[in-house]
Structure 1
């Protein structure tokens, strides 16, 4: 039986306010599972984006790296990062054998050639350092709102999913890059993936080029979103394996 996984109502409120109900739900599970990890410094946020998720997990991040300059501009306003680098991680100029932790949230599933990225992560970590990351799983495509292969292909293409791998393939890739597996934990059971996708479809529906669900959501009173957040804080975001998402903690062996 999987250990219960929940998130506090305050964090959920801000996720719902800032990202809407569907992305807010998915991010809630990621934040909840990441908060249960340890992050020895110095820390590097690989694919940091706008920094929102990491700001809800960590108080300080020593460095963030992302190829999107607009996302880094947003990340610089969060007040979380000591240093930001605009680059692909495999081309990073950050010091090697330095970091105690590399955190990466929902990034590695989008990268076409993962081996150079994992190899570079290993070089950036000091001896005994950890790579902590979340990714959607091979089960994701089977639990969407519409049970058709064409729909799941469309959804994964829309989300730019390239690496929805089973646990065995992640083990193989990480071991090839010189890592040891420390922890693997699934999250988001089938019903929550279905709910996420249904909410996402509702948010994307347009009438006269306008997303009516999004317009209505933004007009909801704060008290109602707070009510939804309190209810959502009672949700168990855990899952038996494989789950819709997977936390993996891998370690660079000590010398």
Structure 2
């Protein structure tokens, strides 16, 4: 069974139709990236998956073994509040010192235990959020634009850290990102969202789709040629030997 299987999902927020008839799934170990313009429902979909938003229609099925680690897009902490990294990682559930040290090490944030949260750099703060998501050893890591506010070297370093986490834990990764060259180089599957799933599949299929180009232009093709790795072994094989690359809807 898929880690997450979504069928005919619709969500209304404050009288606004945020998502309509979304079908979506994520399999064990794969990297899926959500792309789409602002207001396209990307964060809404993630928050629906983790149970923070209740759908108005449709179903979200989780495998009994699915353990989700969630890294939000941002988190505001009162700068006047004395809160160390160690204390932050013990909220709301207390963890052993060894578990916290291991999570920080996996997130590339080892040695920050005694630092004040308010004194962390942007990159350190994001790594601490990643560590918090890793405390329960998830097999599905969900990240909502994890590099927001970071410069290019900081973004590249965080993406490398996420890939190391995936290799170490064998977890699937579901990520929202606006950095299209990263999406195309690091994803097994791309889902293009604009209130509904307008396109999905292997990166090279999505990058050439009219629906994708209508939203993002065609400049990503150059990045695709430069950055794309060979993920053919991740495509789903059918019984007849063909591959399931994806599809794009004219909707």
Same fold (TM over 0.5): no
**TM-score scaled by length of structure 1:** 0.31
Q: Between the two structures, name the one with larger relative contact order (CA 8 Å, sep ≥ 6).
A: 1
TM-score by length of 2: 0.31
Q: Considering fraction of residues, name the structure with more strand.
A: 2
